[in-house]
Structure 1
Amino acid sequence: MKKIKLSMNASPWAGREIRCPFSLIDAVFDFGQPEYYKDTLNELVTFMFKPKIYHKKSPDHTFIFFAVLHSLLRAAYVIHCKSGQYKIKAPKKGSIKLCYGSLNRKEFQNPLIVFKNVYACKSLEGLNLALFEMVSYALNPFSDYPTWDLITPYIHLCKILDASWQIHQRRIETN
């Protein structure tokens, strides 16, 4: 089987190249909290349908946000391709349902299922394009409404963020 070599493209925002997808997930959540990513993503989607520019005074924040999520999508894809090699530690007993986020019970128990399901529906290129389109529409005051479905990729991105947060919190099991 061909070995998967996919750059995480982390050097623009992390200041260094990161090769391990789990190290990249750690770097993503060292860079910002999950609430920041989800709030920013929600605002981007809201601004897609407004004739206003998202973060008009500092659009560089939006570009950095795009770069971080672009790297996270690549890390999730690498983990998905090698999913048989990894096992995530079980959640602590008595985890409250608020921790689930956008995940259902089964996905919360095994966050790797999220990556499998997302990449079964959308390709890495498709998700990257959707993320690019979201940012593009949010930063363009003269654009028309999106002509294709960007809400489904938005839901996928939310699930990837929640699954990645669970992986970051619980770590992988060592044999």
Structure 2
Amino acid sequence: MKKNRTDFETRLWAVRRKHSGVQFMETFFQFNDLAASKKRLTSIMNYAVKRDSWIKEDPSVIFQFRQAIQSFIRAGYLITLKEKKWAANTQLEDVSPLALGLLSEKEYQNPLLVFKKAFREYSVQEFDYFMSGMVYFSMGVYDNLPERNIISPYIHLTKMLDAAHLILERRGKK
């Protein structure tokens, strides 16, 4: 007799069909604008390091954004795992420094380098811990600051957002 167990954990990724990381990123950018996402991430970071104030946005919006970023991080990790099937090398034309954003010229040519570097330094769980901590500290007034380096994961996330948008933009041109 087969035992049926009820699993009470959320299964955001438990889907019968196979999806690619690029499809997950497309979904992320359908619901979240690049500029608005970077602004909200910066706002969360600013309020997380301020000891005497908290973010004024609705907590449900912040929580939904945290979940979306966590799904985005997993999509980026999925892209790095399947890099052999998908390459995004392009030649660098005359691009203004404003178009590069935080990306270097090499990263602009091959946006996958951003994801490789980020996941070489931090695991998916460490990015999750970072986002959870930043949301926690931005929601209230606390005496202590986060105990880890919070600038590097923030920079990696910002660069990943730029790189993912660039990947989707180039994919749309093909």
**What TM-score do you get using the length of structure 2 for normalisation?**
0.83
**Which sits farther off after the overlay, 88-97 or 116-125?**
88-97
The Cα RMSD (Å) is 2.6
Separation in 2, partners of 1:116, 1:81: 9
The count of corresponding residues between Structure 1 and Structure 2 is 162
8 Å Cα contact 1:38/1:158 also seen in 2: yes
Q: Which has the larger radius of gyration?
A: 2
Question: CA offsets per residue over residues 109-166 of structure 1, 9 Å max, x none?
Answer: 0000111111111111111111111111111223521111111110111111111110
Are residue 52 (structure 1) and residue 53 (structure 2) matched? yes
In structure 2, the residue matched to 1:81 is: 81
8 Å Cα contact 2:20/2:79 also seen in 1: no
In structure 2, the residue matched to 1:9 is: 12
**Measured at CA, do residues 157 and 90 of structure 1 come closer, stay the same or move farther in structure 2, by a change above 3 Å?**
same
8 Å Cα contact 1:10/1:68 also seen in 2: no
8 Å Cα contact 2:54/2:140 also seen in 1: yes
Q: Which letter does structure 2 place at the counterpart of 1:52? A: S
Alignment of 1:1-175 (within 5 A): 9=12, 19-50=19-50, 51-56=52-57, 58-88=58-88, 90=90, 93-171=93-171
**Measured at CA, do residues 10 and 47 of structure 1 come closer, stay the same or move farther in structure 2, by a change above 3 Å?**
farther
**Measured at CA, do residues 172 and 128 of structure 1 come closer, stay the same or move farther in structure 2, by a change above 3 Å?**
farther
In structure 1, the residue matched to 2:6 is: none
Q: Which letter does structure 1 place at the counterpart of 2:130? A: A
Unaligned runs of 5+ in 1: 1-6, 12-16
Separation in 2, partners of 1:110, 1:25: 17
Q: Which letter does structure 2 place at the counterpart of 1:55? A: K
**3-state SS, counterpart of residue 90 of structure 1:** coil
Q: Which letter does structure 2 place at the counterpart of 1:102? A: L
Identity of aligned residues (%): 27
8 Å Cα contact 2:20/2:78 also seen in 1: no
Separation in 1, partners of 2:93, 2:149: 38
Q: Which letter does structure 2 place at the counterpart of 1:105? A: E
Question: CA offsets per residue over residues 51-106 of structure 1, 9 Å max, x none?
Answer: 222135x1111011101100000000010111122112626844332121111000
**3-state SS, counterpart of residue 27 of structure 2:** helix
Q: Which letter does structure 2 place at the counterpart of 1:128? A: D
8 Å Cα contact 2:92/2:108 also seen in 1: no
**Which sits farther off after the overlay, 21-30 or 71-80?**
21-30
**3-state SS, counterpart of residue 84 of structure 1:** coil
8 Å Cα contact 2:74/2:124 also seen in 1: yes
**Which sits farther off after the overlay, 94-103 or 157-166?**
94-103
**Measured at CA, do residues 163 and 141 of structure 1 come closer, stay the same or move farther in structure 2, by a change above 3 Å?**
same
